[in-house]
Copies of this chain bind each other. A is one copy, B any other.
């Protein structure tokens, strides 16, 4: 999930000493959408409390060394509704999501912990399907679920099941990945088509009168990422564009490195049925969550090699160079449209697609 604390903390490190004020008095759904409200909440509440021990001691908050082994730690809460949707369910999603977060740090996933918040009345059969899906996803990705916890809450105090997965991975490649590393001239590569996951969940929820064949793209990305890191360890950074979509992640990178990212609208791979669904929903697909895609920023001389490597992997067949990094205007993402114009592609505001992951 791109919206973990550490990414936000890293990005807003420059705010040190300037406390962020929240205008809201209570939590709203927008605070969980991964966009501006989430960033403000984390900055105002969590950064204020945790800033010293984390920001001042650790360069990358989610990575640490134990006996000169570089490990990565990530945690993610999954609240997707419905629990089952075309292409996946909350179980496999919770395994893939955490694997993909480790992958963004260049870490091979080793072990997962899983915590379950179960609402009174959840059918045991549903729980069994979800757990079986997790087990299968873990096995396919060669990770082990080594510990767990279950808690139950009364009817009306949950929504069937929430899952929190936490992963430990090991950084074996000699990489220096950071959203601060991005330079003018770098190329932005997306590993495949955008928007399937969010749209598939919305259709499953019945919010959309579509008989679509759109399936979630939920998938574990470590193997694909590993193949890229093997040939191009000098990658600047990677991010999986989940909540907030490609647009929000690119904004985070642009702000973190104080560069401009120019995206070519026509170069972004998108399935026509996803584009159609997004039009009906009135949402730009660049803001829709993906659960099986990775964004890479790479030095220009490596772009072709990374693209070729991605295309050789089943999950990267539709990879494309979707943009490039420029010097100015700093901290801004510009979308170049087909008709020769360009507009600012801002970070997500509000929460157009709640609880899709």
Contacts and interface: CB of A to CB of B under 8 A. Distances in A.
B61 A147 contact: yes
A229 interface: no
B53 A144 contact: yes
A339 interface: no
Interface in A114-171: 114-125, 127-128, 131-132, 134-135, 138-139, 144-154, 156-159, 162, 164, 166, 168, 170
A84 interface: no
B73 A113 contact: yes
Contact of A58 (B115, B138, B146): B146
Contacts of A14: none
Contact of A147 (B62, B153, B157): B62
A22 interface: yes
Interface string A246-288: 0000000000000000000000000000000000000000000
Interface in A46-72: 46, 48-50, 53-54, 57-58, 61-62, 64, 66-67, 69, 71
A42 B148 CA distance: 10
A111 B64 contact: yes
A326 interface: no
Contact of A67 (B53, B67, B113): B67
B157 A77 contact: no
Interface residues of A, number: 88
Contact of A4 (B120, B134, B148, B354): B148
A73 B27 contact: no
A111 B73 contact: yes
Contacts of A138: 53
Contacts of A64: 110-111, 146
A240 interface: no
Interface in A1-58: 1, 3-6, 22, 24-33, 38, 41-42, 44-46, 48-50, 53-54, 57-58
8 contacts: A50-B135, A64-B146, A66-B71, A73-B147, A75-B115, A76-B115, A77-B151, A79-B153
A308 to B, nearest CB: 33
Contacts of A77: 115-117, 149-151, 164
Contacts of A66: 66, 69, 71, 110, 170
Contact of A157 (B50, B158, B170): B158
A193 interface: no
Given A150-B42, A164-B115, A27 B120 contact: yes
Given A42-B150, A75-B166, A157-B158, A57 B144 contact: yes
Contacts of A191: none
A74 interface: yes
A71 B66 CA distance: 10
Contacts of A180: none
Contacts of A32: 118, 150-153
A43 B6 CA distance: 35
Contacts of A317: none
